[in-house]
Protein backbone atom coordinates (compact mmCIF):
# COMPACT_ATOMS: atom_id res chain seq x y z
CA UNK A 1 0.00 0.00 0.00
CA UNK A 2 2.76 2.38 1.00
CA UNK A 3 4.58 1.56 -2.17
CA UNK A 4 1.49 2.35 -4.24
CA UNK A 5 1.01 5.67 -2.51
CA UNK A 6 4.64 6.59 -3.16
CA UNK A 7 4.26 5.72 -6.83
CA UNK A 8 1.12 7.84 -7.09
CA UNK A 9 2.89 10.80 -5.50
CA UNK A 10 5.76 10.38 -7.93
CA UNK A 11 3.36 10.38 -10.89
CA UNK A 12 1.70 13.58 -9.63
CA UNK A 13 5.09 15.28 -9.39
CA UNK A 14 5.93 14.20 -12.91
CA UNK A 15 2.62 15.56 -14.21
CA UNK A 16 3.22 18.89 -12.51
CA UNK A 17 6.67 19.07 -14.02
CA UNK A 18 5.35 18.32 -17.53
CA UNK A 19 2.63 20.99 -17.17
CA UNK A 20 5.19 23.55 -16.06
CA UNK A 21 7.39 22.76 -19.05
CA UNK A 22 4.44 23.04 -21.44
CA UNK A 23 3.50 26.43 -20.02
CA UNK A 24 7.06 27.64 -20.44
CA UNK A 25 6.96 26.56 -24.11
CA UNK A 26 3.73 28.52 -24.74
CA UNK A 27 5.10 31.59 -23.06
CA UNK A 28 5.73 34.87 -24.90
CA UNK A 29 8.92 34.71 -27.07
CA UNK A 30 11.98 36.19 -25.49
CA UNK A 31 13.61 39.43 -26.63
CA UNK A 32 16.29 37.49 -28.46
CA UNK A 33 13.67 35.56 -30.44
CA UNK A 34 11.82 38.75 -31.26
CA UNK A 35 15.00 40.33 -32.54
CA UNK A 36 15.64 37.28 -34.70
CA UNK A 37 12.10 37.36 -36.11
CA UNK A 38 12.43 41.07 -36.86
CA UNK A 39 15.72 40.44 -38.62
CA UNK A 40 14.14 37.65 -40.67
CA UNK A 41 11.20 39.83 -41.66
CA UNK A 42 13.56 42.61 -42.64
CA UNK A 43 15.50 40.12 -44.77
CA UNK A 44 12.30 38.99 -46.51
CA UNK A 45 11.37 42.60 -47.23
CA UNK A 46 14.78 43.26 -48.72
CA UNK A 47 14.48 40.11 -50.85
CA UNK A 48 11.08 41.19 -52.15
CA UNK A 49 12.49 44.58 -53.07
CA UNK A 50 15.51 43.01 -54.79
CA UNK A 51 13.42 40.59 -56.89
CA UNK A 52 11.36 42.79 -59.15
CA UNK A 53 8.12 41.50 -60.57
CA UNK A 54 8.76 40.44 -64.20
CA UNK A 55 6.63 42.46 -66.57
CA UNK A 56 5.10 40.54 -69.50
CA UNK A 57 6.24 41.92 -72.86
CA UNK A 58 3.63 44.01 -74.64
CA UNK A 59 1.43 42.17 -77.11
CA UNK A 60 2.17 44.37 -80.10
CA UNK A 61 5.90 43.71 -79.68
CA UNK A 62 5.30 39.96 -79.74
CA UNK A 63 3.07 40.29 -82.79
CA UNK A 64 5.74 42.33 -84.55
CA UNK A 65 8.34 39.70 -83.70
CA UNK A 66 6.16 36.91 -85.07
CA UNK A 67 5.35 38.87 -88.23
CA UNK A 68 9.06 39.58 -88.75
CA UNK A 69 9.97 35.92 -88.33
CA UNK A 70 7.21 34.88 -90.73
CA UNK A 71 8.42 37.38 -93.31
CA UNK A 72 11.96 36.06 -92.93
CA UNK A 73 10.82 32.45 -93.36
CA UNK A 74 8.73 33.31 -96.42
CA UNK A 75 11.67 35.15 -97.96
CA UNK A 76 13.95 32.20 -97.31
CA UNK A 77 11.41 29.77 -98.82
CA UNK A 78 11.11 31.96 -101.93
CA UNK A 79 14.88 32.07 -102.30
CA UNK A 80 15.13 28.30 -101.92
CA UNK A 81 12.46 27.71 -104.56
CA UNK A 82 14.20 30.13 -106.93
CA UNK A 83 17.52 28.37 -106.39
CA UNK A 84 15.82 25.04 -106.92
CA UNK A 85 14.30 26.25 -110.19
CA UNK A 86 17.73 27.33 -111.42
CA UNK A 87 19.21 23.94 -110.51
CA UNK A 88 16.18 22.19 -112.04
CA UNK A 89 16.52 23.96 -115.37
CA UNK A 90 20.24 23.18 -115.46
CA UNK A 91 19.69 19.52 -114.64
CA UNK A 92 16.85 19.08 -117.10
CA UNK A 93 18.92 20.80 -119.79
CA UNK A 94 21.82 18.50 -118.99
CA UNK A 95 19.54 15.49 -119.12
CA UNK A 96 18.20 16.42 -122.50
CA UNK A 97 21.71 17.08 -123.77
CA UNK A 98 22.84 13.69 -122.51
CA UNK A 99 19.85 12.08 -124.20
CA UNK A 100 20.77 13.74 -127.48
CA UNK A 101 24.45 12.77 -127.22
CA UNK A 102 24.21 9.23 -125.90
CA UNK A 103 20.82 7.63 -125.49
CA UNK A 104 22.28 4.44 -123.95
CA UNK A 105 23.87 6.27 -121.00
CA UNK A 106 20.70 8.28 -120.56
CA UNK A 107 18.56 5.13 -120.48
CA UNK A 108 20.99 3.46 -118.10
CA UNK A 109 20.79 6.39 -115.69
CA UNK A 110 17.01 6.37 -115.91
CA UNK A 111 16.85 2.67 -115.16
CA UNK A 112 19.37 2.92 -112.36
CA UNK A 113 17.48 5.74 -110.64
CA UNK A 114 14.21 3.87 -110.98
CA UNK A 115 15.66 0.69 -109.47
CA UNK A 116 17.35 2.69 -106.69
CA UNK A 117 14.10 4.41 -105.79
CA UNK A 118 12.14 1.17 -105.66
CA UNK A 119 14.91 -0.45 -103.60
CA UNK A 120 14.83 2.50 -101.19
CA UNK A 121 11.08 2.20 -100.76
CA UNK A 122 11.25 -1.57 -100.24
CA UNK A 123 14.08 -1.19 -97.71
CA UNK A 124 12.11 1.49 -95.88
CA UNK A 125 9.03 -0.74 -95.70
CA UNK A 126 11.08 -3.69 -94.51
CA UNK A 127 12.70 -1.62 -91.74
CA UNK A 128 9.42 0.00 -90.71
CA UNK A 129 7.68 -3.37 -90.43
CA UNK A 130 10.57 -4.71 -88.38
CA UNK A 131 10.27 -1.73 -86.05
CA UNK A 132 6.52 -2.23 -85.66
CA UNK A 133 7.03 -5.92 -84.87
CA UNK A 134 9.68 -5.19 -82.26
CA UNK A 135 7.46 -2.48 -80.75
CA UNK A 136 9.76 0.47 -81.33
CA UNK A 137 7.51 2.26 -83.82
CA UNK B 1 16.05 -2.79 -136.46
CA UNK B 2 14.40 0.51 -135.77
CA UNK B 3 16.39 2.59 -133.35
CA UNK B 4 14.85 5.54 -131.58
CA UNK B 5 17.00 8.59 -130.98
CA UNK B 6 16.23 11.95 -129.39
CA UNK B 7 16.31 13.44 -132.86
CA UNK B 8 13.15 11.46 -133.62
CA UNK B 9 11.43 13.04 -130.65
CA UNK B 10 9.44 16.15 -131.58
CA UNK B 11 10.07 19.41 -129.76
CA UNK B 12 6.73 19.26 -128.02
CA UNK B 13 7.73 15.83 -126.66
CA UNK B 14 10.92 17.22 -125.18
CA UNK B 15 9.02 20.14 -123.71
CA UNK B 16 6.40 17.76 -122.31
CA UNK B 17 9.06 15.57 -120.66
CA UNK B 18 10.77 18.64 -119.22
CA UNK B 19 7.46 19.91 -117.87
CA UNK B 20 6.63 16.54 -116.32
CA UNK B 21 10.05 16.34 -114.66
CA UNK B 22 9.83 19.93 -113.44
CA UNK B 23 6.32 19.50 -112.07
CA UNK B 24 7.26 16.26 -110.33
CA UNK B 25 10.39 17.68 -108.76
CA UNK B 26 8.62 20.86 -107.68
CA UNK B 27 5.88 18.83 -106.03
CA UNK B 28 8.47 16.63 -104.30
CA UNK B 29 10.48 19.66 -103.20
CA UNK B 30 7.51 21.61 -101.84
CA UNK B 31 5.81 18.66 -100.18
CA UNK B 32 8.91 17.18 -98.61
CA UNK B 33 9.92 20.65 -97.41
CA UNK B 34 7.02 20.48 -94.97
CA UNK B 35 7.36 16.81 -94.05
CA UNK B 36 11.01 15.79 -94.12
CA UNK B 37 14.39 17.38 -93.81
CA UNK B 38 15.77 15.82 -97.03
CA UNK B 39 13.77 18.00 -99.39
CA UNK B 40 16.72 18.95 -101.59
CA UNK B 41 17.52 15.28 -102.24
CA UNK B 42 13.90 14.50 -103.12
CA UNK B 43 13.69 17.51 -105.41
CA UNK B 44 16.91 16.72 -107.25
CA UNK B 45 16.13 13.01 -107.60
CA UNK B 46 12.74 14.04 -108.96
CA UNK B 47 14.51 15.93 -111.73
CA UNK B 48 16.36 12.90 -113.03
CA UNK B 49 13.64 10.36 -113.58
CA UNK B 50 9.89 9.97 -113.62
CA UNK B 51 7.82 8.36 -112.06
CA UNK B 52 10.19 6.33 -109.83
CA UNK B 53 10.91 9.05 -107.25
CA UNK B 54 7.25 10.00 -107.13
CA UNK B 55 6.20 6.40 -106.40
CA UNK B 56 8.92 6.00 -103.77
CA UNK B 57 8.02 9.30 -102.13
CA UNK B 58 4.33 8.45 -102.12
CA UNK B 59 5.03 5.07 -100.54
CA UNK B 60 7.43 6.37 -97.90
CA UNK B 61 6.02 9.75 -96.90
CA UNK B 62 2.33 9.61 -97.80
CA UNK B 63 1.09 6.04 -97.85
CA UNK B 64 3.08 4.68 -94.89
CA UNK B 65 2.17 7.47 -92.39
CA UNK B 66 -1.46 7.25 -93.51
CA UNK B 67 -1.45 3.47 -92.98
CA UNK B 68 0.21 3.84 -89.59
CA UNK B 69 -2.35 6.41 -88.49
CA UNK B 70 -5.21 4.21 -89.69
CA UNK B 71 -3.87 1.19 -87.79
CA UNK B 72 -3.40 3.30 -84.65
CA UNK B 73 -6.96 4.62 -84.86
CA UNK B 74 -8.29 1.10 -85.40
CA UNK B 75 -6.43 -0.17 -82.34
CA UNK B 76 -7.74 2.72 -80.25
CA UNK B 77 -11.28 2.04 -81.44
CA UNK B 78 -10.95 -1.66 -80.63
CA UNK B 79 -9.64 -0.86 -77.15
CA UNK B 80 -12.50 1.56 -76.53
CA UNK B 81 -15.05 -1.02 -77.68
CA UNK B 82 -13.67 -3.73 -75.39
Q: What is the pLDDT of residues B2-57, one digit of tens each?
A: 445 555 677 888 888 889 999 999 999 999 999 988 999 999 999 999 889 999 99
Residue A74's domain comprises 56-98
The C-alpha of A72 sits at a distance from chain B's nearest C-alpha, in angstroms, of 16
- Identify the residue among A81, A82, A117, A129 best suited for mutation to test binding to B, counting B beta carbons within 10 A and taking the highest: A117
Backbone torsions φ then ψ of B80, nearest 5 degrees:
-65, -40
A87 and A114 assigned to the same domain: no
Helix residue spans in chain A (DSSP H): 2-25, 31-50, 59-101, 103-134
pLDDT of residue A57: 82
**Within this chain, do residues A106 and A94 fall inside the same structural domain, yes or no?**
no
Using a CB-CB cut-off of 8 Å, the residues of chain A touching B5 are: 103
Do residues A38 and A77 both lie within one domain?
A: no
Whether residues A46 and A80 share a domain: the answer is: no
**Per-residue pLDDT, A99:** 84
C-beta of residue B47 within 8 angstroms of C-beta of residue B66? no
Please report which confidence band the pLDDT of residue A1 belongs to, taking 50, 70 and 90 as the band edges: very low
pTM exceeds 0.90 for this model:
no
Per residue in A94-132, pLDDT (tens digit) is: 988 888 888 888 889 999 999 999 999 999 888 888 877
Indicate if A112 and A81 belong to the same structural domain: no
Q: Residue B59 and residue A81: Cβ atoms within 8 Å?
A: no
Closest CA to A85 of B17, B15, B22: B22
For the segment A58-78, the average pLDDT, to the nearest whole number, is: 94
Q: Are residues A46 and A9 in the same domain?
A: yes
How many domains does chain A fold into? Answer: 3
Indicate if A63 and A94 belong to the same structural domain. Answer: yes
A60 and A22, same domain (yes or no): no
Do A45 and A9 sit in the same domain of this protein? Answer: yes
As a whole number, mean pLDDT of residues A72-80 equals 95
Amino acid sequence: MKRNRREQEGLCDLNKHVHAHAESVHEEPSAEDQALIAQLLHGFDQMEQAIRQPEPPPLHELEQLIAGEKRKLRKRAGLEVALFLVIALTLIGGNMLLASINIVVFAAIQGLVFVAMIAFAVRFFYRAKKKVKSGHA
Amino acid sequence: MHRTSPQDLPVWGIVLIACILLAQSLFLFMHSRRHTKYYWIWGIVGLIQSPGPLIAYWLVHIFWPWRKERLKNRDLRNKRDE
